[in-house]
Amino acid sequence: MSHSCLPTRLPCGSRVLDLSRPHVMGILNVTPDSFSDGGSYTQRDKALRHAAAMVEAGATLIDVGGESTRPGARSVSPNEELERVAPVVAAIARELDVVISIDTSTPAVIRECGRLGAGLINDVRALRRDGALDAAADSAMAVCLMHMLGEPGNMQDNPSYGNVTAEVEQFLCERMEACRLAGISAERIVLDPGFGFAKNLDHNLVLFKHMDELHRLGRPLLVGVSRKTMIGQVLGRDVSQRLYGSLALAALAVAKGARIIRVHDVAETVDVVRMIAAVETAD
């Protein structure tokens, strides 16, 4: 299926995302640093101001994450995760005109954030945790199903594929079927190849090149490559020097039909995406 015949309307709780054009999702991490003030007013206010700046810069989704899922990250308890993200989700829902995405695999977090006004469940585990399918089915939120094998703690230990694109497609197809059986309609689903999740550099590059094949599944694609190791490996750049590499991949992902691009550098990516959209909608 070519991406030109993909659905253009994604229901996200009480909001609808118009996918006839590509969107930029801004990353909002609410994982406390070493000077931990998790759950404090300062942390909440800082997160809200960062979210507001990203919306001002053109982000139409904000992805709120309270558990790091980068390679090697450790997991946090559901209560700790909820204490971090719930106040931030509530504040964004109150103050900003934006779809709130919640980067979580935890059923209690899915349920509470849905109640607080979140519009999309962004689950790197594709609703495989116990109770996650039911929590999603009981909500009206959209769902992003991402490909990963194993857990963030061990996923980069020698990942191996015969045909990475075919295996990612098969996995996503199976998770869509699990959603269907749980009562989550296909109209709510977005798919993500999961760059940097259980994939080495070659896997990431081949999968990126062929990601348009995933459109056979009939659902919009979300892509997250911002500042990732694959860019550092190709360019020999430290994480602070990966903006141009990230923008190149954002442009290429949109050219291949991806509809949501998850990034740290919102203003820069919005220019890239708007320029491509202007050309693609010309006639």
Active site residues: 228, 262
- DSSP secondary structure, the chain, as one string: --GGGS--EEEETTEEEETTS-EEEEEEE----SS--TTSHHHHHHHHHHHHHHHHTT-SEEEEESS--STTPPP--HHHHHHHHHHHHHHHHHH--SEEEEE---HHHHHHHHHHT--EEEETTTT-STTHHHHHHTS--EEEEE---S-TTTTTSS---SSHHHHHHHHHHHHHHHHHHHT--GGGEEEE--TTSS--HHHHHHHHHTGGGGGGG-S-BEEE-TT-HHHHHHHT--GGG-HHHHHHHHHHHHHTT--EEEES-HHHHHHHHHHHHHHHT--
State the Cα–Cα distance between residues 266 and 273, nearest whole angstrom: 10
Interface with ligand PT1, residue 124, by CB under 6 A: yes
Sole window of 67-75, 77-85, 179-187, 207-215 interacting with ligand PT1 (rule: CB under 6 A): 67-75
Give the binding range for ligand PT1 (CB under 6 A) out of 68-76, 128-136, 174-182, 264-272: 68-76
Among 43, 69, 104, 139, binds ligand PT1 (CB under 6 A): 69
Q: Which is nearer to ligand PT1, 206 or 280 (CB)?
A: 206
Minimum distance of ligand PT1 from residue 144's CB (angstroms) = 5
**Residue 54 binds ligand PT1, judged by CB under 6 A:** no
User: Does 242 engage in binding with ligand PT1 (CB under 6 A)?
Assistant: no
Nearer to ligand PT1 among residue 122 and residue 139 (C-beta): 122
| Count of residues that interact with ligand PT1, criterion CB under 6 A | 18
Q: Is 257 in the site for ligand PT1 (CB under 6 A)?
A: no
Position 69: which residue type? T
* Binding range to ligand PT1, per CB under 6 A, among 133-141, 169-177, 194-202, 264-272: 194-202
Based on CB atoms, which residue is closest to ligand PT1, 200 or 280?
Answer: 200
Applying CB under 6 A, the span of 35-43, 69-77, 128-136, 209-217 interacting with ligand PT1 comes to 69-77
User: What region does 89 belong to: left with phi over 0, alpha with psi -120 to 50, or beta?
Assistant: alpha
State how far the Cα of 47 lies from the Cα of 32, in Å rounded to an integer.
11
Give the one residue of 220, 224, 245, 257 binding ligand PT1; rule: CB under 6 A: 224
62 is a site residue for ligand PT1 (CB under 6 A): no
Q: How far is the CB of 278 from ligand PT1 (least distance, A)?
A: 26
Q: Is 192 in the site for ligand PT1 (CB under 6 A)?
A: yes
Query: In the complex, which residues of this chain contact ligand PT1 (CB under 6 A)?
Result: 69-71, 103, 122, 124, 144, 146, 192, 194-197, 222, 224, 228-229, 262
